[in-house]
Amino acid sequence: MTQRAIDILNSWIAETVRPVPPDELSREAHRLANEFMAYAADAGLKVETLEIDLGEDLVARMTEALETAADVESGHVLTDD
């Protein structure tokens, strides 16, 4: 993935991902992955290569982002703020 694509993904996650209850984690991760794929296509990124370039699937990346958001909300992670 190009640095541009990584920056777009990270910015999108920061703007979009919010904590959800644990029982909604899987469904929300799938929804976010699909939403990002559409966003990436609109941004001109080659959707078919995103997961290969990431080295993981987007659902796993979104799950990680959701877990991090939950940790930040609960105070388990220090932030730069």
pLDDT at 16 over 90: yes
Domain span at residue 31 reads: 3-74
Tokens of 17: 């991902």
Tell me whether residue 43 is in a domain: yes
Tell me whether residue 80 is in a domain: no
**Cα–Cα dist 31/19, whole Å:** 13
The pLDDT of residue 6? 78
Are 12 and 39 within 8 A, CB to CB? yes
The pLDDT of residue 35? 94
pLDDT in tens, 25-41: 999 999 999 999 899 88
The pLDDT of residue 72? 87
Tell me whether residue 79 is in a domain: no
Tell me whether residue 60 is in a domain: yes
Half-sphere exposure of 34 (CA within 13 A, CB side): 6
**Cα–Cα dist 22/41, whole Å:** 29
Tell me whether residue 15 is in a domain: yes
Between 81 and 70, the more confident residue is 70
Are 59 and 30 within 8 A, CB to CB? yes
Check: pTM over 0.85? Answer yes or no: no
Tell me whether residue 81 is in a domain: no
